[in-house]
Amino acid sequence: MGDTPLLLFDDDCGICTKFARVIARLLSDVEVIRMSDERMMQIGIDVLGKEMYWRSFHVVRGDLWTSEGEAITELVSLFPLGKIWRSVMGVTPITRLSVQLLRHFQRRRKLECRIP
């Protein structure tokens, strides 16, 4: 992978698509890519496995793939003042809250997008 950070999202999911659009507007230096992109899907499944690849969004920086809570931290670090926020994310209660929020949206995604 190159130097440009990538955000991979499930384009069959309305919540994920809205999330990706917001990130694309806020972070112009992040390349937003559909998880159904054949090239990325093959690489992602090779790196993460099929189940994990489709479970959550991913942030890819170079050869580092992050998912779920780690991807939230990685994505936050790309914002202005992100390094400060990243250190705040290292505080356990804040990390737990972020992961709980992610889990909430994952449950909604399963309901809205009919994901098994």
pLDDT tens by residue, the chain, 116 residues:
678 999 999 988 888 888 899 999 989 999 999 999 999 999 999 999 999 998 889 999 999 999 987 888 888 888 887 777 767 767 778 777 777 877 777 777 666 655 55
- Give the strand order in the sheet containing 64-67: 31-34, 6-9, 58-61, 64-67
**What is the token pair recorded at 44?**
């992602």
Amino acid identity of residue 57, one-letter, is F
Number of domains present in the structure of the chain: 1
**Residue 1 within any structural domain of the chain:** no
The pLDDT score that the predictor gives to residue 1 is: 65
Find the domain containing 104 and state its range.
Answer: 6-113
